[in-house]
Structure formats: structure tokens, C-alpha cells
């Protein structure tokens, strides 16, 4: 069962650290955290007028953590350029296409990409240093990044607030299952990571064979 008293005392810090960690590329469950926090705020407060200030504080913590983490990658992209992009893509399970995909998005949308980047898995982590590498002005970056983080965090908090009773029932059920719930969740996460890793390995092998085939054809034509 979710402890609403603990969330009331430490929710701001939890939101800040989760969003900061996600912005830095750490595998933290930031969206489930935002949804849980939003549900707790809705359940613990008797009216919408009392809930809105709490939601606003949580949103401010999310924006502060997100922009702070993004600033680090932005400065890294501005200073080190392509090396930072490769470092960021090494954190992705689909790193072969992350730079190309982000550059395509950026060429179409520019810095406005930051407003929706967090809704696309892996896009935000690469688009932020790309903005630095493309010499986007700091003021423009901060404005668009704040808007993007606020929109994304608001979605998570609002989902939690709207479906608060259902989320409370889910946590009650998980509490009854005890350690079995953790085992199921851990197994599902491990299978997902294994699937993505195998898919990446197969793609890399296919690309390597295609490259070898092209090189062999070139050698044949030259001779």
C-alpha cells in the first residue's frame, strides 16, 4: 500500500531525484513515480483546490530536476560535440539508429523538438546534447526544455490524479502478493532487456554481413 504520509514528506525530493536521474540517463522508473505521486496527492487531499498546490510543487520539482540534468548534457554537447552524442547513444539499447533518428527529427523541428522529445523513448537523451552540438542559444534551450519537461511531467501527474482509485487498488493487490509481485516485475523487465539486446545483436550482424557483401562486390568489380 502506498504510504501517503511518506509521499507528503518526501515526494518532492523523490520526484526531483527521479527526473534528474532520468535526464542523466539512469534507468529509474520516473513515469511510474510521477503517476504514483499524482495518485497519492489526489487521494490524500479532500478537494481539487487543496490538491492543485501540491501538484504544482511536484511539477516544479520535476522541471527543476529535468532541466538541471539536461543542462549537463547540453553543455557536454556544446563542448565535445559528436563524442557526447556517441556517449549518450551508448546508454541506449538501440544505439545504432539513435543519432540518425534524432538528427532527422532535429532537422525538421529544430529546438522545438524538446517540447515533445520526452514522450518518445530515448529521444530526449540524444536531442539535448544535439542542441548543444548545433549551437542552440542557451535561452532558447532553457525555454523549450522547461516547456517540454513541464508538459511531460504534467501528463504523468494528471494520469495519476485521474486514475487515483484504480492505482490505489493495484498497489493494494501488489501488497497482498508481497515478494511475488517483485519477482514478476523483475522477470518481465529482464525479458524485455534480453529481447532488445538480442534484437540489437541481430541487427548488428545483418549490417555487418551486408557491409562485407558490398566490400566483396567492390573487390570483384575492381578485378
pLDDT at 100 over 60: yes
Q: pLDDT averaged over the chain?
A: 77
Dist CA 173 CA 217 (whole Å) = 61
pLDDT at residue 129, rounded to an integer: 85
User: Which residues lie below 8 Å from residue 218, measured CB to CB, with a gap of 6+?
Assistant: none
Question: In the numeric block, which cell numbers belong to residue 144?
Answer: 523549450
Question: In the numeric block, which cell numbers belong to residue 52?
Answer: 492543485
pLDDT at 144 over 60: yes
Write the DSSP assignment of 181-223 as a string of letters. Answer: HHHHHHHHHHHHHHHHHHHHHHHHHHHHHHHHHHHHHHHHHH-
Dist CA 180 CA 151 (whole Å) = 35
Decide if 146 contacts 112 (C-beta within 8 A).
no
Mean pLDDT (whole number) for 190-205: 64
pLDDT at residue 98, rounded to an integer: 62
Mean pLDDT (whole number) for 180-192: 67
Mean pLDDT (whole number) for 108-119: 86
Mean pLDDT (whole number) for 117-128: 81
pLDDT at 223 over 70: no
Question: In the numeric block, which cell numbers belong to residue 64?
Answer: 527543476
pLDDT at 196 over 80: no
Integer Rg of the chain from CA = 21
pLDDT at 55 over 60: yes
The most confident of 9-18, 44-53, 172-181, by mean pLDDT: 9-18
Question: In the numeric block, which cell numbers belong to residue 199?
Answer: 534484437
User: What's the predicted TM-score (pTM) here?
Assistant: 0.73
Range with the poorest average pLDDT among 26-30, 38-42, 76-80, 183-187: 183-187
Amino acid at each position: 500500500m502506498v504510504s501517503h504520509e511518506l509521499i507528503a514528506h518526501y515526494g518532492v525530493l523523490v520526484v526531483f531525484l527521479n527526473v534528474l536521474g532520468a535526464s542523466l540517463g539512469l534507468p529509474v522508473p520516473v513515469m511510474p513515480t510521477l503517476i504514483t505521486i499524482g495518485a497519492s496527492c489526489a487521494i490524500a487531499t479532500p478537494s481539487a483546490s487543496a490538491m492543485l498546490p501540491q501538484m504544482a510543487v511536484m511539477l516544479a520539482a520535476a522541471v527543476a530536476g529535468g532541466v538541471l540534468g539536461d543542462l549537463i548534457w547540453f553543455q557536454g554537447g556544446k563542448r565535445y560535440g559528436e563524442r557526447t552524442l556517441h556517449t549518450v547513444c551508448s546508454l541506449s539499447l538501440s544505439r545504432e539508429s539513435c543519432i540518425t533518428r534524432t538528427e532527422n527529427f532535429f532537422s525538421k523541428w529544430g529546438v522545438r523538438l524538446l517540447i515533445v522529445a520526452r514522450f518518445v523513448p530515448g529521444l530526449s537523451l540524444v536531442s539535448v546534447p544535439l542542441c548543444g552540438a548545433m549551437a542552440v542559444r542557451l535561452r532558447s534551450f532553457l525555454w523549450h526544455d522547461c516547456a517540454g519537461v513541464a508538459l511531460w511531467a504534467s501528463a504523468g501527474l494528471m494520469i495519476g490524479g485521474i486514475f487515483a482509485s484504480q492505482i490505489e487498488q493495484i498497489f493494494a493487490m501488489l501488497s497482498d502478493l508481497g515478494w511475488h509481485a517483485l519477482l514478476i516485475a523483475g522477470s518481465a523487465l529482464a525479458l524485455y532487456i534480453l529481447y532488445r539486446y538480442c534484437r540489437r545483436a541481430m541487427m548488428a550482424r545483418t549490417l555487418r554481413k551486408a557491409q562485407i557483401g558490398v566490400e566483396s562486390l567492390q573487390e570483384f568489380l575492381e578485378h
